[in-house]
Amino acid sequence: MAQSAFDTSSAARFSQARPQTGEPGIWHDQTSNQQMHTQGDRVSDDYRASHCAPGYGAHYNKTHDSGYYGALWEKIEKPLILDVLRPMGGAGRNCLDFACGTGRIANVAAGLFGEVVGADVSKSMLDCAQVPPNVRLLHIDMTRQPLGETFDVATAFRFFLNAEDQLKRDALKAINEHLKDGGRLVCNVHMNATSPIGLVCRLLNRLFGRTVRHTLSVARFKELLTASGFLVEETIPYGYLPRPGNLLSGVCEALMEPFERASRTLRVPGQLAQHFLVVAKKR
Ligand SMILES: C[S@@+](CC[C@H](N)C(=O)[O-])C[C@H]1O[C@@H](n2cnc3c(N)ncnc32)[C@H](O)[C@@H]1O
Pick the residue with more confidence: 5 or 150?
150
203: in domain? no
Is residue 122 in contact with ligand 1, taking CB distance under 6 Å? yes
Burial class (CB in 10 A: 0-12, 13-18, 19+), 181: exposed
CA distance 119 to 148: 13
Is residue 157 in contact with ligand 1, taking CB distance under 6 Å? yes
Q: How many angstroms separate the alpha carbon of residue 236 from the centre of ligand 1?
A: 21
What average pLDDT does the segment 111-123 reach? Answer: 98
Residue 100 pLDDT class (50, 70, 90 cuts): very high
Is residue 235 in contact with ligand 1, taking CB distance under 6 Å? no
79: in domain? yes
Is residue 104 in contact with ligand 1, taking CB distance under 6 Å? yes
pLDDT for the residue 42: 52
pLDDT at 17 over 80: no
102: in domain? yes
Q: Please state at what angle helix 165-177 crosses helix 218-227, rounded to 10 degrees.
A: 50
pLDDT for the residue 67: 81
pLDDT for the residue 207: 97
Pick the residue with more confidence: 59 or 9?
59
Q: How far is residue 2 from each of residues 29, 36, 126, 252, measured CA to CA in Å?
A: 41, 37, 6, 35
Nearest-atom index, ligand 1, CA of 104: 9
Q: How many angstroms separate the alpha carbon of residue 268 from the centre of ligand 1?
A: 31
Is residue 160 in contact with ligand 1, taking CB distance under 6 Å? no
Pick the residue with more confidence: 78 or 27?
78
CA distance 206 to 202: 6
Sheet holding 179-189, edge to edge: 3-4, 135-139, 113-120, 90-98, 151-156, 179-189, 275-282, 230-238
pLDDT for the residue 35: 31
Mutate to test the pocket of ligand 1, among 74, 81, 121, 172 (most ligand atoms within 8 A of CB): 121
Is residue 164 in contact with ligand 1, taking CB distance under 6 Å? no
Tens digit of each residue's pLDDT (9 = 90 or more) over 159-201? 999 999 999 999 999 999 999 999 999 999 999 999 999 999 9
Mutate to test the pocket of ligand 1, among 6, 51, 95 (most ligand atoms within 8 A of CB): 51
Contact 238, 260 (CB under 8 A): yes
pLDDT for the residue 183: 98
Q: What percent of the chain has pLDDT over 70?
A: 83
69: in domain? yes
Percent helix, strand and coil across the chain, each rounded to 5?
Answer: 35, 20, 40
121: in domain? yes
Tens digit of each residue's pLDDT (9 = 90 or more) over 240-276? 998 766 666 678 888 899 999 999 999 999 999 999 9
Residue 3 pLDDT class (50, 70, 90 cuts): low
Residue 4 pLDDT class (50, 70, 90 cuts): low
Whichever domain contains 157, its CATH number is: 3.40.50.150
| Domain carrying residue 168 | 3-14+45-188+218-239+273-282
Is residue 189 in contact with ligand 1, taking CB distance under 6 Å? no
33: in domain? no
Please state the domain count of the chain: 1
Query: Which amino acid, 195?
Result: S
35: in domain? no
84: in domain? yes
Mean pLDDT of the chain, nearest integer: 87
CA distance 146 to 35: 35
Q: How many angstroms separate the alpha carbon of residue 45 from the centre of ligand 1?
A: 15
Is residue 191 in contact with ligand 1, taking CB distance under 6 Å? no
What average pLDDT does the segment 150-160 reach? Answer: 98
